[in-house]
Amino acid sequence: MNGVGHPAGYTEITFTKIALTAAALAFGALPAMAETLKVGSTPTGVPFTFLDVSSGEITGMMVDVVKAIGDKAGFEADVQSTDWVSLLPALQSGRIDIISAAMSITEKRKEVVDFSDPIFPYGEGLVVRADDDTMYTAGLTETAGKTIGVQQGTKYLTDLETLEGIGDIKVYENIADIMKEVELGRIDVGFADQPIMAYQIGQGKFPELKMAEGYEQQFVAPLGLAIAKEQPELLERINTGLAELKESGELDALIAKWNLD
């Protein structure tokens, strides 16, 4: 003890600080520490999730969405670059807590993960060379004798495999590779996410390509955030935050920011 009855090394100032801190905590004056959740997002899904080479960070519409939901739901989104085929295994193994990517809500995926409420309507499209005037239909029988590129691990690959009388299927790691192959003439048709391919063409990145004329989407499913099964509290927090984004108009603003409206 020191000369004034306080433990050695302590002063009146020290005790004043302790008292003020305790009071602040009691009355909620200090902000609570935000929970940090790991979010898996792909580096090649422009404009939904992609690597910004200038910052070295993953950005995009779905990154903005999960961060905005986190602000309302009380967690900080630690966005981590994750290849498409690794998203579900990473979630199921606990390496990430949330998937925020161009991932559609499907019945098959709902067997292994839980999804948030829908965020954005989503469907497939066909990309072809600009000089291809074929009018493609939903059955894709016009691709007979041609080669169709599709991304591995997507529902589109499964969808294609159910069709008869179509061309040969060739599988690629990402959409950018599919579009490059069509542009180079190595394959004839790219079958992938319509919003991503249309955005890329609109940005002038593939001047020799266009979206196929006449094709009508047949495998439409909305995007949502995915979490591991048996986490009802987290799912409720996410859906509540998402509802607030929709109600306030913030979600519409993010969609417009990325030219998806």
d(CA 131, CA 80): 39
Per-residue pLDDT for 12 more than 80? no
Q: What is the dihedral of CA 106, 108, 113, 115, to 10 degrees?
A: 10
Per-residue pLDDT for 29 more than 60? no
**Tell me, what DSSP letter sits at residue 60?**
S
Please calculate the CA angle 130-154-203 and round it to the nearest 5 degrees. Answer: 35
Q: Model confidence over 152-170: pLDDT tens digits? A: 988 899 989 999 999 999 9
Structure tokens belonging to residue 85: 């085929």
| % of the chain beyond a pLDDT of 90 | 77
d(CA 93, CA 84): 15
What pLDDT is recorded for position 78? 98
Q: What is the dihedral of CA 224, 198, 135, 188, to 10 degrees?
A: -100
3-class state of residue 97 by DSSP: coil
CA 6 to chain centre: 56
15 contacts: CB under 8 Å, gap ≥ 6: 6
3-class state of residue 204 by DSSP: coil
Average pLDDT, the chain: 88
d(CA 50, CA 200): 12
Q: Model confidence over 41-75: pLDDT tens digits? A: 999 999 999 999 999 999 999 999 999 999 999 99
Alpha helices in the chain (DSSP H): 12-26, 61-73, 87-93, 107-110, 155-161, 175-183, 194-202, 232-248, 250-257
What pLDDT is recorded for position 61? 97
Does pTM surpass 0.85? Answer: no
3-class state of residue 46 by DSSP: coil
Q: At what angle do helices 175-183 and 194-202 cross, to 10 degrees?
A: 60
What pLDDT is recorded for position 237? 97
Which of these ranges, 6-20, 60-74, 142-156, 185-199, has the smallest mean pLDDT?
6-20
Please calculate the CA angle 38-39-40 and round it to the nearest 5 degrees. Answer: 125
Which of these ranges, 17-21, 185-189, 232-236, has the smallest mean pLDDT?
17-21
Per-residue pLDDT for 13 more than 50? no
- Which pLDDT band holds residue 218 (cuts at 50, 70, 90)? confident
d(CA 140, CA 117): 31
From residue 256, alpha-carbon distances to 81, 251, 253 in Å are: 24, 9, 5
Structure tokens belonging to residue 23: 């009071």
Q: Model confidence over 69-119: pLDDT tens digits? A: 999 999 999 999 999 999 999 999 999 999 999 999 999 999 999 999 999
